[in-house]
């Protein structure tokens, strides 16, 4: 029996959509007191698969005395098929990111992706509101790009400790978003003030969907406002991962599904989830 | 052209490389063509629904990892309706990994998954047995023999027994599995381990303890595969920390007929197809026409003292 012929007859081909590749680093620099941005040269076939809210699983190098073993998940900050660039924004917090910070232009980084399920923008959602804090804004940045491409109105409410760590503000503005900044330093980042700002937006302009990432307090607030006004929303969540593909089941989190709580894999069913099903942590 | 085919009992594999249970699923089809593999081995399922363990379910230890996933399972119904049909598109044989809390429950599941589309059943007898104070079946020869006898009666399919390193009686457990009718031995599962965060003083796993896998497990698994190959006449499938073609060769030389690649896939999802290519290239470079010529080729006949010492070790 000719195996090749038999396969051709019966197989329903599954096209690989996730790539494990060594990519060359164009730059990896500090962008402010806390964050670094890495720009990688990436092939078009990989970038064309990317969606806002998805992530890559990075094989952090064994450099500078750091010996990370497992890959580290990192949300996509920007992807540009025409320029052939993939961007990440990260804060150095542990062994993996410390090792990443040692890489420079010309070095290579092995990446796996794009992975996971990204953000949804339904056809009838005209005014999108994203609310996030700190590095959570990096995950929401490509959503601004997508909203711009689809011609939707976007309001970005960016929260941070002080002005100098307000990520992505310039980026959101350049994409035509209406940007509202709140900071701890100015005393404007309280949940009460955020609620007033969001209620104001709903009353004056109407809001079709919320998006958030990274803050428990903001999640609770948006769940409450979303439920009250029947406005849908999505949240990008994080969890420690091993495989990043869905095989190992280590990155589960609990979600409310109808009347019970179920564990879902952040890498596969997420990292973007329905906001009302998410459970504060 | 090097012949990579191997025979695990009655089952012919196109090459000796397959995934280790728990580190493989349909999801890997997003990365490469799964028909490149010698066999497909599913994550262990149980008869009923299981939620799995609390998080964190994994942590790193130097150059390796610990896990306590806890065998989350959607149950046998879901598996038969949804998972087995997925693999029918492939020519590669499907090996189903199963587990049970009691020998009878285990045997019932074994019979339930003996269906069209399944080529062999890997029985995870390294899991805790609630009838034996939570000790895994494969810790003792007697409990291994008892559960394997019931499993043997439950299916006509080839039975692969997955052994545990958490035993002091590896050759005896291997012989007990063989005597009860196992067709092959998978050697081995993870070894029980622990890690503590010194700042929080909390164990790094939600379940407190978990299984060590990755390169630091390899010398232990290799020793066990060697012991099992010597102790029995049935094929041994090596498993434990295999990350490179050199690791594969070490297990084959020790007497393994095939190998399972596990944690390495988490680090490099393309590890298995890469190793298959490198194995063919290595064999060609060293003048072998068949991978079978390497199996069991370890030169140990002049090291009696070492063997005696090894047999005295746990």
SS3 B306: helix
Residues A42, A111 within the same domain: yes
Give per-residue pLDDT as tens, B31-72: 999 999 999 999 999 999 998 999 999 999 999 999 999 999
For residues A179 and A173, give the distance between their C-alpha atoms in angstroms, rounded to a whole number.
Answer: 7
Is the residue at A76 inside a domain?
yes
Q: Kindly report, residue by residue over B232-258, the tens digit of the pLDDT.
A: 999 999 999 999 999 999 999 999 999
Strand (E) positions, chain B? Answer: 6-8, 11-13, 17-19, 40-41, 58-61, 64-67, 94-98, 120-124, 159-162, 184-187, 191-194, 209-213, 236-239, 258-261
Is A277 domain-assigned? no
Q: How many domains does chain A have?
A: 2
Residue A135 scores a pLDDT above 80: no
Q: Are residues A194 and A152 in the same domain?
A: yes
Whether residues A186 and A94 fall in one domain: no
Query: Of A91, A115, A139, which residue sits at a domain end?
Result: A115
Q: Is residue A66 located within the same domain as residue A137?
A: no
Whole-number percent of chain B with pLDDT over 90: 91
In the predicted structure, residue B146 carries a pLDDT above the cut 60: yes
**Are residues A137 and A108 part of one domain?**
no
Contacts of A6 in chain B (CB under 8 A): 91
Residue labelled with tokens 């012949």: B3
**Interchain CB contact of B9 with A (< 8 Å):** no
Q: Is the pLDDT of residue A181 over 70?
A: yes
Q: Do A7 and B91 touch (CB under 8 A)?
A: yes
pLDDT band at A142 (very low <50, low <70, confident <90, very high): very high
Average pLDDT over residues A31-56: 93
For residue A56, the tally of other CB atoms under 10 A from its CB is 28
Residues of B within 8 A of A17 (CB-CB) are: 30
Continuous segment of H or E residues that includes residue A264: strand A260-265
| Domain edges within chain B | 6-312
Q: Is residue A261 part of a domain?
A: no
Say how far apart CA A258 and CA B283 lie, in whole Å.
Answer: 56
CA-based max dimension of chain A: 75
| Structural domain boundaries, residue A29 | 19-115
From B59, B127, B228, B239, active-site residue: B127
Q: What angle do CA B137, B140, B142 make, to 5 degrees?
A: 90
On whether the CB atoms of residues B74 and B42 are closer than 8 A, the answer is no
Looking at residue B83, the DSSP 8-state letter turns out to be I
pLDDT of residue B250: 98
**Which of chain A's residues have a Cβ under 8 Å away from the Cβ of B43?**
247, 249
**Residue A12 within a domain:** no
Residue A77 and residue A153 share a domain: no
Which residue, among B117, B103, B69, B86, has the nearest Cα to A263 in the 3D structure? B69
The mean pLDDT value of chain B amounts to 94
CATH number of the domain within which A138 lies = 3.40.50.80
- What lies within 8 Å, CB to CB, of A259 at 6+ separation is none
- Looking at the structure, do residues A44 and A140 belong to the same domain, yes or no? no
* Judgement on whether residues A143 and A224 belong to the same structural domain of the protein: yes
pLDDT band at A1 (very low <50, low <70, confident <90, very high): very low
**Which among B32, B52, B214 has the least Cβ separation from residue A249?**
B52
Do B60 and B112 form a contact (C-beta atoms < 8 A)?
no
Extract the tokens encoding B175.
Answer: 């012989």
Q: What is the CATH number of the domain that holds A98?
A: 2.40.30.10
Domain boundary among A92, A115, A138: A115
Q: How many Å is the maximal CA-CA distance in chain B?
A: 56
CB atoms within 10 A of CB A216: 11
Flag whether A273 is in a domain: no
Contact (CB<8Å) B30/A70: no
Residue A268: inside a domain, yes or no? Answer: no
Tell whether B16 is within 8 A of chain A (Cβ): no
Q: Which of A62-66, B138-142, B222-226, B229-233 has the lowest mean pLDDT?
A: A62-66
Residue A71 lies in a domain: yes
Closest CA to A229 of A248, A255, A215, A209: A209
Which CATH code is given to the segment(s) B6-312?
Answer: 3.20.20.70
Q: Is B127 annotated in the active site?
A: yes
CB A194 within 8 A of CB A224: no
- Given a cut of 70, whether residue B129 has pLDDT beyond it is no
Residue environment code for A84-115, b if the CB has 16+ CB neighbours within 10 A, otherwise e:
ebbbbbbeeeebbbbbbbebeeeeebbbbbbb
């Amino acid at each position: 029996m000719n195996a090749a012929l038999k396969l051709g007859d019966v197989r329903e081909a599954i096209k690989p959509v996730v790539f494990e590749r060594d990519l060359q680093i164009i730059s990896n620099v500090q962008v402010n007191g806390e964050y670094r941005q890495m720009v990688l040269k990436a092939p078009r076939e990989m970038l064309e698969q990317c969606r806002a809210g998805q992530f890559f699983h990075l094989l952090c190098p064994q450099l500078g005395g750091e010996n990370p073993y497992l890959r580290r998940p990192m949300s996509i900050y920007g992807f540009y098929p025409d320029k052939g660039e993939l961007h990440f924004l990260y804060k150095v917090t542990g062994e993996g990111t410390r090792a990443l910070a040692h890489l420079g232009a010309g070095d290579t980084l092995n990446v796996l992706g794009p992975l996971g399920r990204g953000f949804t923008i339904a056809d009838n959602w005209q005014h999108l509101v994203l609310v996030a804090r700190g590095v959570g804004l990096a995950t929401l940045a490509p959503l601004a790009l997508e909203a711009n491409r689809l011609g939707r109105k976007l309001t970005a409410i960016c929260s941070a400790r002080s002005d100098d760590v307000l990520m992505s503000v310039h980026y959101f503005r350049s994409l035509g978003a209406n940007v509202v900044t709140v900071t701890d330093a100015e005393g404007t980042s309280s949940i009460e003030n955020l609620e007033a700002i969001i209620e104001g937006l709903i009353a004056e302009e109407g809001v079709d969907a919320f998006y958030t990432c990274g803050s428990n307090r903001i999640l609770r607030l948006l769940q409450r406002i979303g439920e009250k006004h029947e406005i849908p929303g999505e949240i990008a969540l994080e969890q420690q991962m091993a495989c990043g593909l869905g095989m190992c089941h280590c990155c589960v989190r609990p979600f409310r599904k109808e009347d019970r709580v179920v564990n879902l894999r952040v890498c596969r069913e997420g990292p973007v989830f329905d906001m009302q099903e998410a459970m504060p942590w | 052209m090097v012949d990579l085919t191997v025979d695990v009992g009655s089952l012919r594999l196109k090459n000796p490389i397959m995934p280790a249970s728990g580190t493989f699923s349909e999801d890997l089809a997003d990365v490469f063509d799964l028909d490149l593999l010698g066999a497909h081995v599913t994550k262990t399922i149980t008869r009923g629904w299981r939620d799995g363990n609390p998080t964190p379910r994994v942590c790193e230890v130097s150059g390796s990892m610990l896990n306590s996933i806890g065998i989350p399972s959607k149950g046998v119904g879901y598996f038969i309706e949804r998972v087995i049909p997925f693999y029918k598109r492939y020519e590669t044989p499907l090996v189903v990994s199963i587990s049970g809390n009691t020998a009878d429950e285990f045997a019932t599941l074994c019979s339930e998954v003996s269906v069209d589309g399944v080529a062999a059943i890997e029985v995870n007898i390294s899991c805790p047995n609630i009838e034996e104070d939570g000790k895994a079946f494969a810790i003792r020869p007697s409990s291994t023999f008892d559960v394997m006898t019931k499993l043997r009666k439950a299916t006509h399919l080839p039975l692969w027994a997955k052994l545990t390193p958490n035993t002091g009686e590896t050759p005896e457990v291997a012989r007990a599995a063989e005597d009860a009718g196992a067709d092959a031995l998978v050697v081995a599962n993870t070894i029980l381990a622990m890690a503590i965060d010194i700042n929080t003083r909390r164990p790094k796993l939600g379940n407190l303890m978990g299984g060590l896998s990755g390169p630091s497990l390899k010398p232990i698994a290799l020793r066990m595969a060697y012991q099992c190959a010597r102790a029995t006449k049935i094929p041994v499938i090596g498993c434990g920390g295999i990350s490179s073609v050199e690791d594969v060769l070490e297990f084959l030389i020790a007497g393994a007929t095939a190998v399972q690649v596990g944690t390495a896939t988490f680090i490099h999802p393309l590890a298995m197809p890469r190793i298959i290519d490198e194995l063919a290239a290595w064999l060609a470079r060293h003048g072998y026409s068949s991978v079978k010529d390497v199996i069991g080729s370890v030169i140990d006949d002049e090291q009696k003292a070492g063997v005696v010492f090894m047999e005295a070790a746990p």
